[in-house]
Amino acid sequence: MWAIEVRDLTKRYRGNGFAAVDHVSFSVKSGEIFALLGPNGAGKTTTIKILTTLLKPTSGTAKVAGFDVSKDKDSVRKSIGIVFQEPSLDWRLTGRENLDFHARIYGIGRKEREERIEEVLKLVELEDKADVVVDKYSGGMKRSLELARGFIHSPKVLFLDEPTLGLDTHTRRRIWDYIGELNDKEGVTIVLTTHHMEEADYLCERVGIMNQGKIIALDTPKNLKDLIGSDLVSLEMNTRDCNTDIFKKLDFVTDFREYNDFVTLKMERGDLRIPAIMEVAQREGIEIKSVNLRKPSLEDVFLYITGRRIRE
């Protein structure tokens, strides 16, 4: 069963006719964790705003929890939770009061509301901070509370717009664990937007890569990385003024990409090929600053498809 069905969705803005979302189609299974991955300006947040009824599409259709986002907005809103990219907590209230206020809006009765508040506080490990004013919370604590607030009413679909933006590595990983546990315990479908490749790779069953308003690739993280498949050897040169084309002629190199002062070579058994690469570089008078051997990442997939890095 599909929790979300999007068909030929387009959002154009009046005046310049810019297409922030350009004929996008995808579906999300019930209980799935799905990511829209792409750089800033790719159309991720605009897509989420349409799916959460905050924006009206120019054309195309979208259904969330079986309800049309244009024709049945109230039913969509009752079925979803959302954690916005920008903070939206009331900093003058305590954590418990923020959750209680949100639960009241959704018409949850007192007994169920109190039980549910304790459940979500435990999940995000904020029980001992529940009665502290939110203004005293750290950035990670605030994000955890927003996550708890987003699913306190047991939504069928939870939207997370850049859920770990601005957080340090340790806090980001803890939020990932909360999201995974929420999906596992509550069975809620989760759709997140992110430009963190490792976030999509770690959390999601499938990833839709967005660029310039379009979905340019959609599959499991493993299958996307298998598009590249082989080892990647990156060479950092001390100068751009050198004959990097010499690396293309090596018989074991199956793909060649050049980016600023870097050359990335695709090959099998890269660990065994590095000495031969260095020998060629020395013979040609190419000064190598650093060598990096790695398996493909979602960043490499984006670079492979678009010719630029996701953070540009």
- Are 59 and 162 members of one domain? yes
Asked whether residue 309 is domain-assigned, the answer is no
User: Do 198 and 243 lie in a common domain?
Assistant: no
Whether 304 is in a domain gets the answer no
Are 171 and 187 in a shared domain? Answer: yes
| Residue 77 covered by a domain | yes
Question: 83 and 40 share a domain?
Answer: yes
Q: How many distinct structural domains can be found in the chain?
A: 2
Please check whether residues 207 and 237 belong to one and the same domain. Answer: no
193 domain-assigned: yes
Residue range of the domain that includes 160: 2-224
Examine the domain organization and report whether 244 and 198 are in the same domain: no
pLDDT digits (tens), the chain, 312 positions: 899 999 999 999 887 778 999 999 999 999 999 999 998 889 999 999 999 999 999 999 999 999 999 999 999 999 999 998 888 899 999 999 999 999 999 999 999 999 999 999 998 999 999 999 999 999 999 999 999 999 899 999 999 999 988 888 888 898 999 899 989 988 999 999 998 888 999 999 999 999 999 999 999 999 998 888 788 888 988 766 677 888 888 989 888 888 777 888 888 888 888 999 999 888 888 888 899 888 888 888 888 788 777 665
Determine, yes or no, domain membership for 305. no
In angstroms, what CA-CA distances link 150 with 46, 51, 87, 217, 273?
19, 16, 12, 29, 50
Looking from the CA of 123 toward its CB, the CA atoms found within 13 Å total 27
The rounded distance, in Å, linking the Cα atoms of 35 and 33 is 7
Tokens for 6? 């999007």
H-helix or E-strand containing 215? strand 214-219
Question: For 52-190, where are the alpha helices, taking DSSP H only?
Answer: 73-79, 95-105, 110-123, 139-150, 169-186
Strand order, beta sheet including 33-37: 80-83, 157-161, 189-194, 33-37, 206-211, 214-219
Same structural domain, 187 and 45: yes
> What is the token pair recorded at 262?
């870097």
Residue 214 β-bridge partners: 211
Whether 247 and 282 share a structural domain:
yes
**Do residues 120 and 269 share a domain?**
no
With a CB cutoff of 8 Å and minimum separation 6, the contacts of 226 are none
Closest CA to 247 of 272, 293, 278, 292: 278
Q: Which residues contact 168 (CB under 8 A, 6 or more apart)?
A: 140
Of 173, 194, 224, which closes a domain? Answer: 224
How far is 11 from 99, CA to CA, in rounded Å? 33
Distance CA 206, CA 204 (A): 5
Q: Would residue 288 count as lying in a domain?
A: yes
User: What CATH number did the domain enclosing 19 receive?
Assistant: 3.40.50.300
* Residue 173 and residue 234 share a domain: no
Residue 312 lies in a domain: no
Residues 37 and 58 reside in one and the same domain: yes
Domain match, 69 and 140 both: yes
